[in-house]
Amino acid sequence: MNTTINDTNFNFPKQKNVYKGKVREVYNIDNKKLVMIASDRLSAFDVIMPKQIPYKGQILNQIAAKMMHATKDIVPNWILATPDPNVAVGYLCEPFKVEMVIRGYLAGHAAREYKLGKRTLCGVGLPDGLKENDKLPMPIITPSTKADNGEHDEDISREAILANGIVSKEDYEVLEKYTQALFQRGTEIAAKRGLILVDTKYEFGKTVDGKIVLIDEIHTPDSSRYFYANGFQARQDANETQKQLSKEFVRQWLIENGFQGKDGQQIPEMSEAKITEISERYIELYEQITGEQFVKADLSNIEERIEKNVLAYLS
Question: Each residue of 186-205: pLDDT tens digit?
Answer: 999 999 999 999 999 999 99
Same-domain check for residues 241 and 310: no
Closest CA to 17 of 35, 4, 1: 35
Average pLDDT over residues 34-41: 96
Same-domain check for residues 100 and 161: yes
Check residue 77 and report its DSSP letter: B
How many C-beta atoms lie closer than 10 Å to residue 83's C-beta? 18
Select from 229, 249, 269 the last residue of a domain.
249
Domain range holding 215?
Answer: 95-249
Same-domain check for residues 110 and 214: yes
Check residue 155 and report its DSSP letter: B
Examine residue 161 and state whether it is found in any structural domain, yes or no: yes
Examine residue 3 and state whether it is found in any structural domain, yes or no: no
Give the per-residue SS3 of 190-240. Answer: HHHCCEEEEEEEEEEEEECCCCEEEECCCCCCCCEEEEECCCHHHHHHCCC
Average pLDDT over residues 132-136: 97
Domain CATH for 282: 3.30.200.20
Same-domain check for residues 210 and 146: yes
Examine residue 258 and state whether it is found in any structural domain, yes or no: no
Same-domain check for residues 100 and 209: yes
Same-domain check for residues 100 and 89: no
SS3 2: coil
Same-domain check for residues 114 and 216: yes
Percent of the chain's residues with pLDDT above 70: 98
Same-domain check for residues 70 and 100: no
Same-domain check for residues 203 and 292: no
Residue 19 pLDDT: 92
Average pLDDT over residues 168-175: 98
Examine residue 266 and state whether it is found in any structural domain, yes or no: no
pLDDT in tens, 252-261: 899 999 999 8
Residue 243 pLDDT: 84
How many C-beta atoms lie closer than 10 Å to residue 274's C-beta? 15
Instruction: Decide if pLDDT at 151 tops 60.
Output: no
Same-domain check for residues 218 and 234: yes
Average pLDDT over residues 122-130: 96
Domain CATH for 226: 3.30.470.20
Examine residue 44 and state whether it is found in any structural domain, yes or no: yes
Residue 2 pLDDT: 72
Average pLDDT over residues 107-119: 94
pLDDT in tens, 263-294: 899 999 999 999 999 999 899 889 999 999 99
Examine residue 260 and state whether it is found in any structural domain, yes or no: no
Examine residue 271 and state whether it is found in any structural domain, yes or no: no
Average pLDDT over residues 99-105: 98
Same-domain check for residues 283 and 232: no
Select from 249, 269, 295 the last residue of a domain.
249
Which residues, in sequence order, are CB contacts of 58 under 8 Å at separation 6+? Answer: 38, 85, 86, 296, 297
Same-domain check for residues 225 and 190: yes
Average pLDDT, the chain: 93
Examine residue 160 and state whether it is found in any structural domain, yes or no: yes
Q: How many independent structural domains does the chain possess?
A: 2
Instruction: Decide if pLDDT at 149 tops 60.
Output: no
Which residues, in sequence order, are CB contacts of 112 under 8 Å at separation 6+? Answer: none
> How far is the first Cα of the chain from the last one, in angstroms, to the nearest whole number?
28
Distances in whole angstroms, Cα of residue 243 to Cα of each of 183, 191, 220, 231, 254: 20, 15, 17, 9, 18
What pTM does this model have? 0.89
